[in-house]
Structure 1
Amino acid sequence: MKKVLSFIVIGFLAASGANASSHVGQCVFPKTKILPNGNLSFVHAIDISDQPSPEAAIKPLVSMKAYQISAEEKGFIKLVTVPDYSLADPQANAGKIVGWGKIRDFDFQAQRNCN
């Protein structure tokens, strides 16, 4: 009986550890700083690429919005847009692929704030 219980506990620990390593589905916001006038600004320029590779073509991230992670690979996260509840149809632009960014350029935020 003790062996069975031990295997169950080890199974739960292994399963919870596997989920913790993936950020897919989580909400992120670009790292920002507060300027003297109270506005937000990016901490530094954030590059977005079309592939999860340092050699891929890049473009700067220009919109300061929340994004959802749809994939993760080699320190890069694939960003997709989230519903915008300030629009008449919040789902109109949701789920569109923005590109791949480096995970270190973003802060995680609670799912309830992902809008």
Structure 2
Amino acid sequence: MRRRGGRPGLMGMAARTAVVAGTATAVSGNVQRRQAGRAQSKEQEAADQQQMLVDQAAAQAAAQVQAQQPVAPAPAAAAAPAEEDPMVKLRQLGELHAQGLLTDEEFSATKAKLLGI
């Protein structure tokens, strides 16, 4: 069989049209997906930036509130033990002297110190 030259027949033309249409559809789909991906990434960046701004504003507000709150006073120092009555100390001193734990000189010196003499 001999091949005819010139223009393709009906089947050749249909095949060529199908290839061109398929290629155009594939390219168009890729372009749409790429554009959608770019739009989505831009939206995500905008959402991330907005969230960052909201977080910064919340942190600043919290810092201002904390700065405005009065500082809690330090806990009161433990009260100094009440000074014992000099009479009680003299009585204890007398008991120590009576037991022989203090000499007469020590007793007299300590008693004078307690009485402020």
Q: Choose between structure 1 and 2: higher helix proportion.
A: 2
**TM-score normalised per structure 1:** 0.24
- Where relative contact order (Cα < 8 A, 6+ residues apart) is larger, the structure is 1
Larger % of strand: which?
A: 1
Larger Rg, first or second structure (1 or 2): 2
